[in-house]
Structures are given as C-alpha cells and as structure tokens.
Chain A
C-alpha cells in the first residue's frame, strides 16, 4: 500500500485492484501446489472457526432463554430451515444440513472477506464453481435416483401445447445446464467486483484532490458490499433449494 501511494505521488495512478485475490503460500515463497498451505487455507479455516463459534460454542448452553449468540444461531437455523421447507418442500428436509453448510460457508466467507487485508475465498471462480457443480451434480443424481428416467419429465412441460413442447424442452435443457455456470459466476462476480471497486477507490484516495470523494465512495460501496455479501449467500442458498425442488418433487407436476 505504501509503495502504491508513493508511486501515485510520483506520477500517475497505480492500480492493483486484483492483487487482493492472488493466492499465495502462507509460509515461504514457492509455487502453489495442491496441498500448499495458502491464504485460501487460512481464511477457510477462519470461516470454519467462526461457524463453529457461532453454531457450536454459541449454543453450548442449550438455553431455553437464549443468549445473544444462541439467538443468532437459532435465527440462522430457522431462516435456512424455513427456506428449505418453503422453497424445496418437506421432502427436501433431509438435505437441510447441506444447504445450511453452503449458506454458512458463503455468508461467513463473504463477511470475512470484507475485513481489510483479508482474502475472499468466495471471490474465486474455482471455489464457487466447485460449490455450484456439487449442487448441480447432487441434484441431478438425486433426481435420477428418486424418479429414475421420469426425472427427465422436468424438461417435458405437459401443461404447454404439444407443438411447443419440443422447443420448450430444448430451452429447459439449455437452462438446466447453464445453471451451475450462472450459479457460480453470480457469486464470484459479485464478490470480486465489489472488492475490486473498493480497491480502485482506495487507490484514488491517495490523490489529494479527490480523496474525500474517494473515501466517501469507499464507505458507501462498503455498505453496499455488506448487503451484497448477505444477499449473495441468500441467493446461492435459495437457488440451491429451487434446484433441489426439481429433484425431490414429482417431475410431472
């Protein structure tokens, strides 16, 4: 940061808005291999610790009259439980822990990513694509396992006129396979964009003339990002529920 500010004074702005997303080893300076302990490892571990602190330590007293932490944990539980029940239906309740896992991981990663100097794991397409593909494959396999080949009925819209059905089926199939792509890019794109914009304004803040504006803009975008962090986690979870509904409910509804 300090060098960047100096560089800006000497001549021209220096933008490094994407540097915050670089995956680098925590110890040493070597290449990033598969098992290297990197900043990804660190921030994912912090995410796990936060989730444990909230949902396990926060509820350790099992109080009938909850403490504040326990209230938050119960709120999160009720929020996702109701979402699964309402959106995906009662049949999807067995998959509630999986949806909860996704939601808690994403919401904590997003919020932790908002801390200055932190690393946002969910801003990486590698992470969100794996999550989205996992949801996609799970839902598809679950659908075939539950309904056999009649699961393909979700592409054959019986309520539409017969002539339209093949066209609709094509559109449905395309949109079905685009799901993991939009599911993952939505989250990673939102997280990356917000953080990059904040960083760009942070670079502008080094220029005296526009620094008040830049600082106000950083504050405003930060507030927006707090909102986006939650909303994207919510959207990811609710879309997972929507996809789950296809698998657990009757394909010929």
Chain B
C-alpha cells in the first residue's frame, strides 16, 4: 500500500516540468550507479562478515558460554550449601533431642534420689513415732492402772466409812472390800 502511495506521488512529482528535467525517474533504476553500489556492498559485506565471524561472534559466544558456566557452577554451589544447611539443621535437631533426653534422664535420677531420701526419712520418722507412741501408751497404761487402783482404794475407804456410819460394827471391813472389788469389776 505504501509503495502504491509512493508511486502515485512519484508520478505526480515527475509530472511537474522542473522535476522531470532534473531527476530521471527513480534513482533506484539508474543502472549507471549499480556497479558502484554493488562494489561497495560487496566490500562492506566482506568486512562485516570477517569482523563478525573472526572477532565479534566468537567473543560473544564465549562470554555467553562463560556466563552459563558461571550460573551452572553457582547453582551447584548453592545446592551444595543448601544440602549442608539441611545437614546442619538435622544435626542441630539431633543435638536438641539428645539434650532433651539427657535432661529428662537427669530429672528422673534426681526424682528417684529425692524419693529414696524421702522414703528413708519417712521410715525413720515412722519408727520414731512408733517408739514414741509405744512409750506414751505404756505411760498411759501405768497411769490408768494406778488411777483405777487409787479409785478402788478410795471407793473401799468411802464404802467402809459409809457402812460404819450407817450400821456400825455389823459388817466387817473384809466383806466390804470384797463387795467393792466385785462392784468395780462388774
């Protein structure tokens, strides 16, 4: 489409007298300049080809290959480091688990020790308490025995006095004592 426009414009332009006189149509079709253009084009292309194929392209290719190599190496190194990090984390976790186990073991030991000490102390205390309570019971028994004896004496004396006051001389002291003893036991 653009070409058509140009051709139309060109036709219009060359229609003008001064243009027609100056330019013989399209300079592209001026065959007298072809040899010149082709000569310089060939030289140019040869120069560019040699510059590119000898210098530029191998250099850029090697730069790209180097970069690719560097990237590959870096990725490998990163993988390596990542692996190491994973290993280090595993070791850390293992150490943590070990430490926890050790700690709980120590706690268990301490608990067991404390429990043993406690049991011993309780046993000692129990024995002491048992001894003390036995002593106390003995003392209480003695007190109780003496108390009931005294009470019997007092009861016999009071009974003798009461009998003597109520019926003097009729009942002897021996039978009164026997009766009181029987009453206390009964």
* Chains A and B belong together in one complex: yes
Chain A residues proximal to chain B, CB less than 8 Å: 12, 14-19, 21-23, 31-36, 38, 40-41, 44-45, 47-48, 51-52, 55-56, 59, 62-64, 66, 70, 73-74, 77-78, 96-98, 100-101, 104-105, 121, 123-127, 130-131, 134, 188-190, 192-194, 196-197, 200
User: Do residues B40 and A40 form an inter-chain contact, with CB atoms below 8 A?
Assistant: yes
Contact of A64 among B19, B39, B63 (CB under 8 A): B63
Q: What is the bound-complex CA distance between A192 and B27, given in angstroms?
A: 10
Among candidates B9, B29, B38, B41, residue contacting A197 with C-beta atoms closer than 8 Å: B9
A251 to chain B, nearest CB (A): 27
Given contacts A38-B40, A40-B36, could you give 19 more A-B pairs where the C-beta distance is less than 8 Å?
A16-B13, A18-B25, A22-B30, A34-B36, A38-B36, A44-B41, A47-B48, A56-B56, A59-B63, A98-B49, A101-B45, A105-B48, A121-B41, A127-B37, A130-B41, A130-B42, A190-B3, A196-B6, A196-B10
**Interface pairs (24), CB distance under 8 Å:** A15-B13, A15-B16, A18-B27, A32-B32, A32-B36, A34-B36, A40-B33, A40-B37, A41-B40, A44-B44, A48-B44, A48-B47, A52-B51, A55-B51, A66-B63, A77-B61, A100-B52, A101-B52, A125-B28, A188-B28, A190-B2, A192-B3, A194-B2, A196-B10
- A124 CA to B57 CA, complexed, in Å: 28
Could you list which residues of chain B lie within 8 angstroms of chain A, going by C-beta atoms? 2-3, 5-6, 9-10, 12-13, 16, 18-19, 22-23, 25-30, 32-45, 47-49, 51-53, 55-57, 59-64, 66-67, 70
Using CB atoms, name the residue of chain A closest to B71. Answer: A64
Contact of A124 with B37 in the complex, beta carbons under 8 Å: yes
Residues of chain B contacted by A41 (CB below 8 angstroms): 40
Q: Closest B-chain residue to A45, C-beta based?
A: B44
Residues of B within 8 A of A59 (CB): 56, 59-60, 63
- Among B25, B37, B43, B63, contact of A62 (Cβ-Cβ < 8 Å): B63
For A37, the closest partner residue in chain B by CB is B40
Verify B59–A35 contact, CB threshold 8 A.
no
* Main secondary structure on B side of the interface with A: helix
Q: Is the CB of B5 within 8 A of A197?
A: yes
| A residues in contact with B61, CB < 8 Å | 77
Q: A135 to B55, alpha carbons, bound, how many Å?
A: 23
Least distance between A167 CB and chain B CB atoms (Å):
31
Known contacts A22-B23, A62-B62; is-contact A17 B9 (Cβ 8 Å) = yes
Q: How far is the CA of A84 from the CA of B63 in the complex (A)?
A: 19
- Let me know if B51 and A77 touch, CB within 8 A: no
Determine if A126 and B6 form an interchain contact, defined as CB atoms under 8 angstroms apart: no
List the B side residues contacting A134 at CB < 8 Å: 45
Rounded to whole angstroms, the CA-CA distance of A32 and B47 in the bound complex is: 23
Tell me the interface secondary structure of chain A in the complex. helix
A101-B41 in contact (CB<8A): no
A124 and B59 contact, Cβ closer than 8 Å, known pairs A101-B52, A200-B9: no
Q: Is the CB of B13 within 8 A of A73?
A: no
Contact of A193 among B6, B53, B63 (CB under 8 A): B6
Q: What chain A residues lie within 8 Å of B32 (beta carbons)?
A: 31-32
Interface centre among A45, A56, A101, A104 (most CB of B within 10 A): A101
**Interfacial chain A residues near B39, Cβ < 8 Å:** 34-35
| Chain B residues, Cβ within 8 Å of A66 | 63
Specify which of A40, A44, A97, A196 is in contact with B57 (CB 8 Å cutoff). A97
Assuming the contacts A23-B36, A23-B37, A34-B35, asked whether A192 and B64 have C-beta atoms less than 8 A apart, the reply is: no
Q: Which B residues touch A127, using CB under 8 A?
A: 37-38, 41
Contacts of B28 in A (CB 8 A): 21, 123-126, 188, 192
Give the chain A neighbours of B36 by CB distance below 8 A. 23, 32-36, 38, 40
Contacts of B16 in A (CB 8 A): 12, 14-15
